[in-house]
Structures are given as C-alpha cells and as structure tokens.
Amino acid sequence: MIEQTNILRIATRKSALAMWQAEFVKARLEHFHPSLTVELVPMSTQGDIILDTPLAKIGGKGLFVKELEQAMMDGRADIAVHSMKDVPVDFPEGLALHTICEREDPRDAFVSNQYNTLDELPQGAVVGTSSLRRQCQIRALRPDLQIKDLRGNVNTRLAKLDNGEYDAIILAAAGLLRLAMPERIAAYIEPEMSLPANGQGAVGIECRIDDVRVQALLTPLEHTATRIRVNAERAMNRRLEGGCQVPIGAYAEVEGDTVHLRGLVGAVDGSEILHAQSSGPVEQAEQIGIALAEQLLAQGADKILAEVYRDA
C-alpha cells in the first residue's frame, strides 16, 4: 500500500486501562502495516480530573472523550481509542466511529477480598459502584446492601477496596482481564443478574470523517460480530436518550444470522426494573435496538428515566 504519511497518532486517556487499549490498537495497526509508525498522545480528560463528584451530576460520559475529540479536530491526533461503553451516542461534526474491535468478556465482575459472591455478602455490607445500572440491579437482588459511590480509574477503585472502604466492588471484567488481574475477579456476574452496559468490553476507534488514509489503515481491525452487537445495544440506548449516566443495560449476542438483544431500564433504588428482549436478522441490528427501546418505553421507561434526570 502506498502511504503519503507513515505516522499515525492515537489520542488516549492516561489511565492504565486506556493506555492498554491504545497500545493494543497500536500493536494491531503495526501488525497489519509493518511500515507504519504509531505514536500515542496521552491526555487527561475532565472525567479524569473531576473525581469527587458522582458522574451523573457532572454531565456523564462525554467528559471522557471531549479532549480526545478536540485533539483530532485540531490535527494533533488521527484517531482516538475508546471503551465503547464511554462513547456517547452522537459524535461531533466531522468525526465518526470507524472501527469496533473484537469484544472482551462483557460481564460485570464481583471483586472482594473476603467474599466469593454477591450472595455471600452479609446483611448491610457496603458495595462500591458509581454506575446507576449496577446499583439498581444489585439493589433489586439484595435490597439490604449499602451502595456507596466509587469513582476513579480501575487501580484507584481497587486501592479503595483494599483500604477497607468497601466490602466488595463491581467492575467490568474486561478492564481487569486487560490489566492482567484475573485473580481479582472473585465471581463473574451473569447477564441475567447484571445486564452489562451497552458496548461494555468492546474497544472502538474514532477518526475524522474525511480521513480516508486513516480509515483504510483501520479496516483490518474491524470485528463484524462485535459491530453487530454494539450497533444493536447503542441503537437501544440512543432511542432511550441514554446520553449520560443512566440505569440502562443493553446486551446483544449473535447466533448465526440472528442477533438476540436484551434490555433493561431500572429505577435507581431497584424498586422497579423493566426488562425486554427481542431477536431478528443481523442486518436489522439497529432496528431491533430501536424496537426494544420502544417496548421499554411502552412499559414506562420514560417515567423512570425522567425521574433519574430530575434527581441528577
């Protein structure tokens, strides 16, 4: 392949997990394009800087991507590597999600130094999570537990657990597996008990819409089944206006030519959780996501979400 420029710069957050994901994309790009030089451009985002306020109150997940997007718009970077879970449903003008890489384990993980499972936790135990989605599902399973906010990157959260501030914390299994800490996972929480967030475990790559050079370089990193699953999940979130931190779960699986999607909207206190599921041909992943959102809205999801936004 003839390349005018042989350098590609990756905008990334500085957290260990973000750096791992950027290094992973760098390695994949260098594997497919041996003559390409890939450089990382690490930066701090508002989401990394403001650590003392619950995410829902400071504007949600867009905070983790804005600085990276600005770097691409200014030409300081060519791509941004994101955890799909942290990517808002809409992109700024001139940027788009071009590539979705193969998904890691999408499940939530139960992490504790004393207890092996959620069931083993004694009455009133303190569980750390900053995710409304995890909070409402745990409250529904175990109304007696105390949920305490937990912010910071994966290592910060683990340090807070080790300090004794929590009896257990819930993290995405993907983050712990990528950071080579599988022994930290006391138990995987099955989707039936804690439906993952849309895109959890998948890495996505954003770039400028008009950058055909970079798009050609990215193409071999695309994973079709993951793309279908994440498209269905994100379409559901988008229809529910799940723009910021919300108690929404969305999880799709592909079986042959069929995509199965499960969705959930919950009241933060776990008092009410709406579930829905739907299946259809993979070519219609997004329509299935939208239809599922509409099923949830018809069950009253709009009222639950309006309450969440009012309290945030």
Ligand X SMILES: NCc1[nH]cc(CCC(=O)O)c1CC(=O)O
Q: Does 22 bind ligand X (CB under 6 A)?
A: no
SS3 breakdown of the chain: % helix, strand, coil, rounded to 5?
40, 25, 35
* Nearest approach, Cβ of residue 2 and ligand X (Å): 34
Residue pair 198/246 in contact by the 8 Å Cβ criterion: no
Total length of the chain: 312
Number of residues that bind ligand X (CB under 6 A): 10
Residue 311 CB contacts under 8 Å (≥ 6 apart), including other chains: 268
Q: Does 195 bind ligand X (CB under 6 A)?
A: no
Q: Which is nearer to ligand X, 149 or 294 (CB)?
A: 149
Residue pair 199/223 in contact by the 8 Å Cβ criterion: no
Q: Is 58 helix (H, G, I), strand (E, B) or coil?
A: coil
**Please, which of residues 269-298 interact with ligand X by CB under 6 A?**
none
Judged by CB under 6 A, which of 60, 88, 128, 201 binds ligand X? 201
Judged by CB under 6 A, which of 62, 88, 128, 175 binds ligand X? 175
Local structure of residue 113 (DSSP, 8 states) = S
Q: Which stretch binds ligand X (CB under 6 A): 81-89, 214-222, 248-256, 277-285?
A: 81-89
Residues serving a catalytic function are: 86
Sign of CA dihedral 289, 131, 65, 188: negative
Enumerate the β-bridge partners of residue 248.
265
Q: Which stretch binds ligand X (CB under 6 A): 79-87, 120-128, 184-192, 204-212?
A: 79-87
Q: Which is nearer to ligand X, 26 or 208 (CB)?
A: 26
Give the x/- contact pattern for ligand X in 140-169, rule: CB under 6 A.
--------------x---------------
H or E stretch covering 8 = strand 7-13
Please give the residue ranges that form the binding site for ligand X (CB under 6 A).
Answer: 83, 85-86, 154, 171-172, 174-175, 200-201
